[in-house]
Structure 1
Amino acid sequence: MSSPSSPITAAVVEERLRAELIDLGVEEDAISPDAKFDKLEIDSLDVADLMAMVVKEFQVEIPRSELADVTIGQLVARIVAGASH
């Protein structure tokens, strides 16, 4: 969604993750910065799709195994930090 010249901000990343999670069937009101991925009722294939989108759009790779106890807010921070390198 964002072009390479656009800065990757927390707001951009959070909105993109929100849209992807909704597409995967997560209830919109369940999505918050404090929500943990293991509580969002998405299966491993959905997580793989989500991580593929992160790699494709933000060029940041985060192993799925590291998502077990991570909140959406923590993931946003990791993507922004990783994308700025």
Structure 2
Amino acid sequence: MNDRILVTYASRAGSTAGVAEAIGKTLAESGAQVEVRPMQEVSDLTPYTAVVAGSAIQGGQWLPEAMQFVQTHRAALAQKPFAA
């Protein structure tokens, strides 16, 4: 498998980061090349064949930086498998 998957997250207390790491580990066990990175460290989605994104929930919504990430990368996310 030549998939390069980004698992990216926005977290406040670290729980979402832990979930992202667990997802990344499971994907890697299936043979994918996986990077797990906070959203604020991601500027280019070109290297990835798929993206998994997650965020802590505050006031019933994703964190503002997570919403901004999806908005900023909307065009790139539309061109590849994306799960949130």
| TM-score, with structure 2 as normaliser | 0.30
More strand by share: 2
